[in-house]
Amino acid sequence: MRTLIENGTLVSPTDTFEADLLIENEKIAAVGRGVAFGPVDKKVDARGKYVIPGGIDVHTHMDMPFGGTTSADDFESGTRAAAFGGTTTIVDFAIQPQGGTLKAGLAQWHEKADGKAVIDYGFHMIIREVNKQALADMDDLVKREGVTSFKMFTAYPGVFFVDDASIFRALRKTGDNGGLICMHAENGPVIDVIIEEAKARGETAPAWHALTRPPRLEGEASHRVLALAEVAKVPLYIVHLSAAEALEQVRQARDRGVRAYAETCPQYLFLDHRNYEEPGFSGSKYVMSPPLRMPGNEQHLWRGLQLDDLQCVSTDHCPFCMKEKELGKGDFSKIPNGAPGVETRLYLTFEGVRSGKISLNRWVQLNSAAPAKLFGLFGRKGTLAPGADADVVVWDPEKRHTLSAKTHHMKVDYNPYEGREVVGAPTHVFSRGKLVVEGGNFLGKKGDGRFLKRALTLA
């Protein structure tokens, strides 16, 4: 099968140029202008549109047991929604079962995704217990299983929390095997004390989720894990960075020469604490950790994206329907933590391009090329170069779209950006050469997504 995307404007992290792009079966075969490509089976006219590498979302939680329930999207619905939004690869978090091994957790996640995903996917591994077996398994995951990154938490005591010594042991291990530790950095034990105090005073509303997780405690935990990585002499990636205080720690670490990397998410750029004040129980829609921050904080994050102190935008897609959120009616600490976003990342961050906060090239870098490089996918994904997988999105910069639960494809009954009109939307989405979304219609197939064995960080 040969498909020619004609007359488009190709965008990479460094270049914006008019060219045609030829897809042959699963791969990008050629890029050129005024070239005779020979006979093709299908042509797509991309005049007036951008042609970009498919989005790569390196932070999703499909089918994840959490907070007394399970996230609403499974690998089928979640990857389908991703494709509708122009994302063609996800990296989801497999979880070491309580008292179990990393390999058992990996097997569970393969079972969840295999035969279901509509786009390609990889896994990180969440480590909740750093014992001898886990340290040995880390080597195997990196060297044989293509799982080259691990997430650990200084948050959620009793669920995912690990102590500093465990984090340090795991960091040292990545010094041997080349893997990358990703940290959820909030001081969970202290947050739990503040939560107890608030509950003792009778505070129940969703806003207290945020008020009991001060930004300073994200800054403190970020400082600590960056110091551990510095002493261990290994790189570190901070996930879902929300607070200016944490960004400052990343910046200082980078200035000291630490290989510190971090992502933020659209919710921290486009929503803020005022959302928790919405009437009734509506504030629960935004209960996630770290929480939304005070208005003005987002300006620091945009600056971080501009100056490369933040290298990626991911989504932390972890949706729960309102009836699940209601588990925490009357007790904010029981509201399942997480919000949807896998479908809306490119739309929202393109608003950053339109408002002049980031360039078109930076948009591609943050959403595709940089995550590919940091998470061992570059060359295959995150680029329009010949030989790469033909994960390609045709993006209409003028197309208007309203974000809404009425029209989105995520299996969740609310949209955090309900009613927001955005400008710029995908018209064609190719996953490994196959057209999976065209003009709002899904043409992909359950099970077509393949597991990606990832290489080491290329940064």
CA distance 68 to 174: 32
Site residues, ligand URP (CB under 6 A): 61, 184, 240, 288-289, 316, 318, 337-338
Residue nearest to ligand URP (CB): 337
Q: How many H helices and E strands in the chain?
A: 14, 19
Helix/strand/coil for 177: helix
CA distance 229 to 376: 20
CA nearest to 348, candidates 122, 49, 87, 121: 87
Structure tokens at 348: 């929202």
Q: Which range in 47-55, 81-89, 182-190, 437-445 contacts Zn ion by CB under 5 A?
A: 182-190
Residue 103 interaction partner, one of ligand URP, Zn ion, none, beta carbon < 5-8 Å per kind: none
CB of 73 to ligand URP, least distance (A): 12
Q: Does 317 participate in binding Zn ion (rule CB under 5 A)?
A: no
Closer to ligand URP by Cβ: residue 20 or 186: 186
CB of 150 to ligand URP, least distance (A): 14
Residue 263 interaction partner, one of Zn ion, ligand URP, none, beta carbon < 5-8 Å per kind: none
Cα 187 to Cα 96, 106, 194, 226, 289, distances in angstroms: 21, 27, 11, 14, 11
Closer to ligand URP by Cβ: residue 147 or 392: 147
Q: Does 316 participate in binding Zn ion (rule CB under 5 A)?
A: yes
Q: Residue from 103, 124, 184, 325 that binds Zn ion (CB under 5 A)?
A: 184
CA distance 404 to 108: 32
Closer to Zn ion by Cβ: residue 339 or 390: 339
CA nearest to 122, candidates 98, 102, 145, 96: 145
CB of 442 to ligand URP, least distance (A): 26
Neighbour count for residue 121 (Cβ, 10 Å): 25
Query: What is the contact mask toward Zn ion in residues 141 to 180, using x (rule: CB under 5 A)?
Result: ----------------------------------------
Residue 368 interaction partner, one of ligand URP, Zn ion, none, beta carbon < 5-8 Å per kind: none
Is there a contact between 354 and 421 (Cβ–Cβ < 8 Å)? no
Interacting residues toward Zn ion by CB under 5 A: 184, 316
